[in-house]
A and B are shown apart, each in its own frame.
Chain A
Amino acid sequence: MDYNFHWKPVIKALPELLEASLLTLQVAAISIVFGIVIGLGLALIRLHMTGPVKWLASAWVELARNTPALFQLFFFGFGLGSFGLHLSPYMIVLLALSFNNAGYLAENFRGGFGAVPETQIRASRSLGMTAFQAYTRIVIPQVLRIVYLPITNQMVWAVLISSLGMLVGFRELSGETQFFASKTFRIFEYFAVTAVIYYVIVKLILGASRLLAVRLFRY
């Protein structure tokens, strides 16, 4: 092996890379919040509604689950661009991630709702709760407990696929890495450090989610 590693430029760029990884975390976290809210809506629509609204929700879920994330990113980037809707790289990644998260989480929520017995809703209704109260106070807390682990996994997945942002010019961790790598041609060194940062981020998310689970559900 006659390759000389040059780590110095990477060390020098480390503050920028860490700052960019905050952007990665930020976009992943916001997209997860959108994903949870929209996914909940999609799951409820698919469970309780009929007609074109249900059809649309099903189309969303199936498209998000059965096409590559990169395709979805290109679609929000270039596909919408052909309709004259030009989004910033940040918005492209955020929308594509939210679209993807919502589709995957909707299926998890559907399974979660299926796990809460119908009789509980009837019992809470007969105690005088409105349908809204029954859902927000009885059903959803239980569903959240069931889908907590899938949400954590989806958060990790969102961080991983946010790395595709570098292909649409978004300067999150991967994009920033590529920017520096193409300035210095130290591609391997930069991406090796970035791989380590991603690994640490994923482990931090999993660790934080475990701590949160202890507090929330007293596992």
Chain B
Amino acid sequence: MQPTATFFSGFTLNDLWFLGEAALKSMWISILAITFGSAMGVVFGWLLSVSRRAGALTLAPVLDVFRSVPLIIQLVLFFNFAPMIGLRLNPFEAGLIVLVVYTSANVATVAQAGIEAVGGPMRRAARSLGMSYWQDMRYVVWPIGLRAVFPAWIGVALGVMKDSALVSVLGYVELLKASQILITRTQETFLILAIAGAFYFALSYPISHYAARLEKRWTQ
């Protein structure tokens, strides 16, 4: 009698390791995207706040495009566009670039709101105390503006963390892609999806509640 071939095997401890590794990849691309995207976004937000007319006519519509087109379309477009201009990018690099630009577009509005939350009189007071423009920015606008928009920034950052799941369409094996691979082999859809969901939840839930608490405390 011939041994029957088995294509599917159950969920093992090794697979949990595989999922954990993929979760780290998800976190890594999110951390990079949030860090660089936020830095760029703050610069854009500052540009928007200082160049009211010119910025509203040039930079704002460009950033708006990245907020009005689905991220998945942006990913596919850029991944297919990069080779045309001679860029050889792997899925991680292409995904990271798109996520950074997407993050910066979202952070720009938050940063602009933060800078504008600091009242004109306060800034004139800082200048008349002898502070330079950058000192005013560093010691007056930054601490007050940050306080005003920090919860909103957390919201953007968590959104990017969740949206990083979309990089899987380019073939980057992050958490959700890894869980799909495992589902194909083990056929234990529910269990594996639940593990993947629990991971995102465990990361996002405490941070969003911390932000909500902070917001409540700061608005009092």
Contacts and interface: CB of A to CB of B under 8 A. Distances in A.
Interface of A: 1, 3, 62-63, 65-71, 74-75, 78-79, 81-83, 156, 159-161, 163-164, 166-167, 174, 187-188, 191-192, 194-195, 198-199, 202-203
A68 B68 contact: no
B74 interface: yes
Nearest to B201: A66
A187 B65 CA distance: 20
Interface string B169-212: 10000001000100100001110011011001100110010000
A63 B76 CA distance: 28
Q: State the majority secondary structure of interface residues on B.
A: helix
Contacts of A160: 68-71
Contact of A164 (B72, B80, B86, B197): B72
B84 A188 contact: yes
A195 B196 contact: no
> Shortest 7 CB-CB distances between A and B: which pairs?
A163-B70, A82-B189, A66-B204, A68-B162, A68-B165, A202-B68, A3-B84
B5 to A, nearest CB: 23
Interface string B71-83: 1111011001100
Could you say which of A74, A75, A198 has the most chain B C-beta atoms within 10 Å of its C-beta?
Answer: A74
A35 B73 CA distance: 25
A75 B208 contact: no
Nearest to B194: A79
24 contacts: A1-B86, A63-B197, A66-B158, A67-B197, A67-B200, A68-B165, A68-B176, A70-B168, A70-B176, A71-B176, A71-B196, A79-B194, A163-B73, A166-B72, A174-B73, A187-B76, A188-B81, A188-B84, A191-B76, A191-B77, A194-B73, A195-B77, A198-B73, A203-B68
A74 B193 contact: yes
Contacts, number: 101
A159 B72 CA distance: 12
A105 to B, nearest CB: 15
Nearest to A161: B70
B85 interface: yes
A159 B11 CA distance: 36
* Tier of interface size on chain B: 35 or more
A83 B77 contact: no
Q: State the majority secondary structure of interface residues on A.
A: helix
Contacts of A83: 190
Interface of B: 65, 68-74, 76-77, 80-81, 84-86, 158, 162-163, 165-166, 168-169, 176, 180, 183, 188-190, 193-194, 196-197, 200-201, 204-205, 208
Contacts of A63: 197, 201
Nearest to B86: A1
B205 A174 contact: no
A85 B70 CA distance: 29
A68 B163 contact: yes
Given A74-B176, A82-B189, 11 more contacts: A1-B86, A67-B204, A68-B163, A71-B196, A78-B189, A82-B190, A163-B72, A174-B70, A174-B72, A188-B84, A195-B73
A66 B183 CA distance: 22
Nearest to B204: A66
A67 B73 contact: no
A1 B87 CA distance: 11
Nearest to A198: B69
B44 to A, nearest CB: 19
